């Protein structure tokens, strides 16, 4: 057995993530913890070596114990929800995660920032930097343009430095996370064309939330599969915004999501055109290796990704193929992630780690 | 064939399909009935008002009762398998369905044709009209070029007349059926471009057959989803052959299949470019209505197809969208079918109906 | 009813069920066709050689086309729902299936009987012969005691003759059907004790209906399994009523249902005590053979039943084991059925067949 | 943010389990890591704050990297398997987990013990204390009776103290774990009768291992459900052994397992008779509270357990009902666990924690 002293502790907990400070515990509040993203945030915080759930806040009249909502949490976390009170929350928390529907989030975020709580917002309210575009896409006025201006898009592999200093992080959508990781290195290095990008995506049902709906009733989803929102999904402009920012000029995509009969997981199969005849599959892999060689949560691989291999992890798995067709070559990029982890709560924790200088991987490996 | 007297019975059995001759019963033999396509052939023949299962033929040494192989058939069909003996089979059957792997099928088909049995072959052996292409794709010599020359590709909606007179029908692959139905009317009418066609497909697991394999083990497939054979699937040249034939000139596609965690169903999401700026979504629907207005098994619809709505039916559901993207317009075609029915055994029965002048829908609605 | 001339057609359609009169078509109305039992009734009637769907009746204000409710029916049945009007219905139908919740059913049944329509009621309203017991179990007054008195419990294998002459058939519950078929022959022949009977049951989710509910939301059911209503389920008294009637004296059971993550299927694993030390497993199988040897839809078998083998069929599969334990011998009876078919709509069709002298199996094999 | 010093560290890592010594890291070897229990052991050890995977040992000729076997482990654990060499292993490991089939395990365990490695054996080889019974049940000679004599049955809630001092722990079977936790407190306190115990169990498919088999092929399991090994399962004598030991006299059970179409999870629904008329449901709950009030991994609850609520946890959830039937009262006990965690690898880690004085819950909450 390896005996050690406290100063050697870091190495011993290596398996749980690098570089965190064991003498610190980030106290995390969650507003709206009763949905699926709330559940996975709590689950991850409970496993986190340097963070804890300190405050669960709800706007419900009857404030439930979280273990009543999620029986899986009994014996692990049995906090009762409390009112959304910034003055109390700031005393008990260092960071607040807002797990609210769009529109509701921006109603609470300003008050959190006002008391100097740092915020990771899992809604869509601060993702689109252009307020007019937001209003068009979400069909509601943007009521917090002041904070929108300095919100940081929380995709650590692309915007790590800005996240570290941010007070307000807009946690990316599940679909946009996979798309941005899959395409950014190829666009930045001018290996693929910025137009005619087709993103064929499929997601597990938790992505649609916890509220029962006729089309999400078990016998309607089980043994079923179909597309929805073809070219009209709200994540399409978010994807285009990130890719255009990464490319430095306009990028447009066609995004077609499908509903998979599984709980969790997103696979995106992306069809793009190589920039020119010289681009090889090796070039594409080199771009990935170059971009993600030091990233703990992006796995560049030769095998085609499977949502099962990323389940319950913060990984995004990437592969790429250059295919000859009768009418020229086509690039196919594959990206898999767990929509609840890298696509939502895991990425939120990753952002928190960066904001509090805990190393990106603490609690996530 | 049992000849009989015509009656006015037809109207009463309308629900089971139109125009069949109730005074006739097609006697059907099946070679290789112990796989999934064999099961569904038997199931459909048992429900068929003018056909019956008369002979189950196997090359196994131990000849099983089919109800031992498929307990679901107990009380419905308890025939024992018998040897593959053309001389006996021709006395007891009018048609033979060959449900064998490629290569094995063409070893038996000539003997069946020699005794004047009509054949519907569910393997790939007679689908590709170019023997060289077959040999390249399936990596085996084609041993029956004589019959290959007059085999008819059994996609009734496209080749009905030729099927009616055929002695040997090559039943199409599951993926190619959906692709051909989805694209042929649009290519024929020059509404879409014949290149840069991307077929993103997803299939249930029965499409991979009944033999257990590590990657088809329940815990590996359940809650999983991934692509396979990107651009290298054997159905890609079959798709291109049919589309080129329909278009009258070369059509090339990129075909990317995925494995869905469901028993049955194929959904193809197909990305193509409109032929020119004048083409509208209405034009595309008109082409579908024009092509399939009289077809019982192609449902043209505005809603996006779902594999659940075609399960256990011979339908192929089609929808189409013209989508504006930042870089021009894109056509997305959706096609859903049951890979076991319209994609295999149902289409084989549909072909049989045509070959024996029973009306296309008998036993299939 | 369409009367016609008898033909020799029967032999040709043997596969679809024996002994029906092809020169007759039973016209069937359905009240409340928009739930799952309505769907399967329509599906079965469309396949039935001597029956047809003639009238779909709904109490909704907006009367939908049934194919809008069930896209799977497009191209097969596109009738619009009409008001529940007995005077019109009696002109267009011979039989009416009531697919309504309990309480609602008995509000409509009297009017149907009054115009001489024969009724198969799929609700619970006429199953319990004791009105007081009904009122206790369903917590609502019984408002049609007059008809309750002559309603016949529609389990054909046990009450065939009474069904044939009935005007009002109470179609059994899904769980009670399997339990009654599994235990009646053993109780009647005094092979098992009438007390200490434990019925451990598991059902697919369609048994809980089509309305979305939080606990039936896909991510809550998928990969889940639990018991519910332990000893308090409304089917327990229905089971006891039938078994007591079959035994000729009081039989009590403990019934514990579970929710299975599948669409369809019920498996009951039933633990009983042999009547005495002389009873053997062979005796139990003989009792089954004796009771069901002539029954088309009960398959007595040595293998343990699987819900997959009865899916989409009207079969109930039975097996039994005599097991030695350290504390004596125990009988375990296994019964599997499709809760939507033998447990609901298929049995309703079987009852209709008997009521209209069509042979029990028409349209069901 | 809570700033702290090293001495306050315990509180900070509370979420990951109590009382472990952060200045220690248990080095764990795994023999046979390529099956499902191996995977979950690795996963849990990677999350464990005071343990690490140090050696993966395989008897294969080609020694794979574990991440090739389990792509999910890429980026987390990429160790190559090495030969099973006790002399090397003892230098690099403190404990060895044997994840081998029965018979194979006892071929390796003696050599491990000889070099003073402590062993947690996940096979069945050391579970039955009676070698003759083992030989009868597993149909193979027991080749290591010497070690069998001092092996400790690794169910921490029942045998904690013996586990702490053990060199060889026989990790319990998945089904026996739930059964023993559900019934021991009630038998010990003479609240239920020790005969006529019926255990109706259902397990996810991972319980059947990673090798593909015809009956575990995806389309055979999906949407299926059936019993198997009725009264003949090898876990039945293991259950009886533990219950008899806990009761202090002979206990016999009837054990009937079923295969659930899910990846993971066991639910046991157990039917027993109360010891006498005085026993109440409250008494039963008191017995549970008394036995498990201090146990972190047994959750006594009023709601009926669901396998989904214990998924990926080391919990066993228990509930009990006293039900009045027409023939007396019956006790129904419900127990849910994850067959891969509390039923296998999680319990193995729990045993390791106790053997190395790390507190029972380290790495498991």
Helix (H) or strand (E) holding A203: strand A197-203
Please give the helix or strand (H or E) that residue A246 lies within, else none: helix A235-247
A174 is known as an active-site residue = yes
Q: Report which of A338, A301, A311, A304 is spatially closest to residue D74, judged by C-alpha positions.
A: A301
Instruction: Return d(Cα C359, Cα C264) in angstroms, integer.
Output: 26
Q: How far is D114 from chain B (nearest CA, A)?
A: 37
pTM over 0.90: yes
Give the 3-state secondary structure of residue C100. coil
Question: Which of B81, B99, B174, B316 is an active site residue?
Answer: B174
Which pLDDT band, with edges at 50, 70 and 90, does A13 fall under? very low
User: Given an 8 Å threshold on Cβ–Cβ distance, is C36 in contact with A210?
Assistant: no
Q: Which of C178, C248, C170, C210 is nearest to C33 (CA)?
A: C210
Question: What would you report as the CA-atom Rg of chain D, rounded to the nearest whole angstrom?
Answer: 20
List of chain D residues whose C-beta atoms are within 8 Å of the C-beta of residue A23: 3-6, 8-9, 12
- Least Cα distance to A309 among D43, B226, D71 occurs for D71
A139-187 residue pLDDT tens = 999 999 999 999 999 999 999 999 999 999 999 999 999 999 999 999 9
- At B23 the pLDDT is 64
Q: What one-character DSSP code corresponds to residue D274? A: B
The set of residues, in sequence order, having a beta carbon less than 8 Å from that of A288 and lying 6+ positions away, is: A185, A298, A300, A318, A320
Q: What is the pLDDT of residues B124-168, one digit of tens each?
A: 999 999 999 999 999 999 999 999 999 999 999 999 999 999 999
Query: What's the rounded mean pLDDT across residues C180-209?
Result: 97
A351 contacts A154 by C-beta, under 8 angstroms: yes
Spatial separation of the C-alpha atoms in residues A87 and D183, rounded to whole Å: 50
What pLDDT is stored for residue C360 in this prediction?
Answer: 81
Residue B293 buriedness (CB in 10 A; 0-12 / 13-18 / 19+): exposed
Nearest-CB residue to C72 (from B13, B297, B309): B309
User: Is residue C55 pLDDT above 70, yes or no?
Assistant: yes
Which chains border D (3 or more CB–CB pairs < 8 Å)? A, B, C
ipTM for the whole complex: 0.94
Q: Do the Cβ atoms of A226 and B267 come within 8 Å?
A: yes
CATH topology for the C9-172+344-355 domain: Rossmann fold (3.40.50)
Phi-psi sector, B32: left (phi>0), alpha (psi -120 to 50), beta: left
Closest CA to C197 of C322, C105, C330, C71: C330
The helix/strand/coil state of D27 is strand
Residue A193 token pair? 């064309």
- Residue D9, pLDDT > 90, answer no
Average pLDDT over residues D256-279: 98
* CA angle D92–D98–D99, rounded 5-degree value: 125
Confidence of residue D21 (pLDDT cuts 50, 70, 90): low
Q: Taking CB atoms and an 8 Å limit, are B216 and D221 in contact across chains?
A: no
Assigned superfamily of A175-339: Dihydrodipicolinate Reductase; domain 2 (3.30.360.10)
Chain B: partners with 3+ C-beta pairs within 8 Å: A, C, D
Q: What is the mean pLDDT of chain C?
A: 94
Confidence band (pLDDT; 50, 70, 90) for D1?
very low
**Nearest-CA distance D274 → chain C (Å):** 13
CA dist., res. B16 & res. B20, Å (int):
9
Q: H or E stretch including D229?
A: none
Closest among A281, A267, A233, A275 to A338, alpha carbons compared: A267
Q: What percentage of residues in chain C have a pLDDT greater than 70?
A: 94
Q: Is the pLDDT of residue C275 over 50?
A: yes
Q: Is A290 helix (H, G, I), strand (E, B) or coil?
A: helix
Q: Do C327 and D230 touch (CB under 8 A)?
A: no
Q: Is the pLDDT of residue C238 over 90?
A: yes
For the segment C284-302, what is each residue's pLDDT rounded down to a tens digit? 999 999 999 999 999 999 9
**A242-262 average pLDDT score:** 98
- A222 and C217: CB-CB below 8 Å? no
- Which of A325, A332, A333, A337 would best serve as a mutation to test chain B binding (most B beta carbons within 10 A)? A325
Domain spans, chain A: 6-172+344-355, 175-339
Does position B232 have pLDDT exceeding 70, yes or no? yes
Is residue A67 within 8 Å of A78, Cβ to Cβ? yes
* C108-124 pLDDT per residue, tens: 999 999 999 999 999 99
Query: What DSSP line would sit under C132-157, residue for residue?
Result: HHHHHHHSS--S-HHHHHH-EE--HH
Residue of B159, B190, B336, B176 whose CA lies nearest to B272 = B190
Longest dimension (CA), chain D: 65
pLDDT of residue D360: 81
**B304 neighbourhood in chain A, CB within 8 Å:** 226-228, 230
Q: Closest to A304 (Cβ–Cβ): which among B220, B227, B330?
A: B227
Long-range pairs of D90-94 with CB within 8 A, sequence gap ≥ 24 = D90/D115, D90/D116, D90/D117, D92/D27, D92/D29, D92/D54, D92/D55, D93/D27, D93/D28, D93/D29, D93/D54, D93/D55, D93/D117, D94/A1, D94/D26, D94/D27, D94/D28, D94/D118, D94/D356
> Which residue from A227, A250, A325 is facing B254, i.e. has the nearest CB?
A325
CATH code, residues A6-172+344-355: 3.40.50.720
Please name the residue ranges forming H helices in chain B: 36-47, 66-69, 86-92, 104-114, 131-138, 145-150, 156-164, 174-188, 218-221, 235-247, 281-292, 307-310, 346-355
Q: Does residue D60 have a pLDDT over 80?
A: yes
A202–B195 CB contact, under 8 Å: no
Would the CB atoms of D4 and A24 count as touching at under 8 Å? yes
Alpha-carbon span B315 to B132, nearest angstrom: 33
More confident residue, D21 or A314: A314
**Residues comprising chain D, all counted:** 365
Nearest CA to CA, how far is B223 from chain A (Å)? Answer: 5
């Amino acid at each position: 057995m390896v005996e050690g002293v406290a100063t050697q502790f870091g190495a011993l907990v290596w398996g749980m993530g690098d570089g965190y400070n064991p003498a610190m515990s980030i106290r995390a509040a969650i507003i709206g913890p009763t949905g699926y993203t709330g559940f996975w945030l709590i689950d991850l915080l409970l496993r986190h070596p340097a963070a804890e759930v300190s405050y669960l806040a709800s706007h419900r009249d009857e404030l439930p114990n979280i273990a009543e909502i999620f029986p899986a949490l009994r014996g692990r976390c049995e906090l009762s929800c409390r009112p959304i009170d910034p003055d109390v929350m700031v005393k008990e928390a260092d960071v607040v995660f807002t797990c609210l529907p769009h529109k509701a989030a921006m109603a609470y975020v300003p008050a959190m920032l006002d008391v100097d709580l740092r915020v990771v917002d899992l809604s869509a309210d601060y993702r689109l930097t252009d307020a007019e575009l937001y209003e068009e896409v979400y069909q509601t006025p943007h009521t917090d343009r002041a904070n929108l201006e300095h919100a940081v898009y929380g995709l650590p592999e692309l915007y790590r430095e800005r996240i570290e200093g941010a007070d307000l992080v807009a946690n990316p959508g599940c679909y946009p996370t996979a798309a941005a990781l899959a395409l950014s290195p190829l666009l930045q290095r001018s290996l693929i064309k910025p137009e005619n990008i087709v993103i064929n995506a499929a997601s597990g049902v938790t992505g649609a939330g916890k509220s029962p709906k006729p089309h999400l009733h078990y016998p309607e989803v089980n043994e079923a599969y179909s597309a929805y929102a073809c070219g009209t999904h709200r994540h399409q402009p978010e994807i285009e915004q990130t890719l255009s920012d990464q490319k430095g000029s306009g990028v447009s995509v066609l995004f077609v999501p499908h509903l998979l009969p599984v709980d969790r997981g997103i696979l995106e199969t992306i069809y793009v055109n190589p920039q020119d005849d010289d681009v090889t599959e090796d070039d594409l892999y080199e771009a990935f290796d170059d971009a993600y060689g030091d990233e703990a949560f992006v796995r560049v691989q030769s095998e085609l990704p499977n949502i099962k291999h990323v389940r319950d992890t913060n990984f995004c798995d990437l592969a790429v193929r250059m295919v000859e067709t009768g009418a020229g070559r086509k690039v196919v990029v594959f990206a898999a992630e767990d929509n609840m982890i890298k696509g939502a709560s895991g990425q939120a924790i990753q952002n928190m780690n960066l904001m509090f200088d805990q190393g990106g991987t603490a609690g996530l490996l």
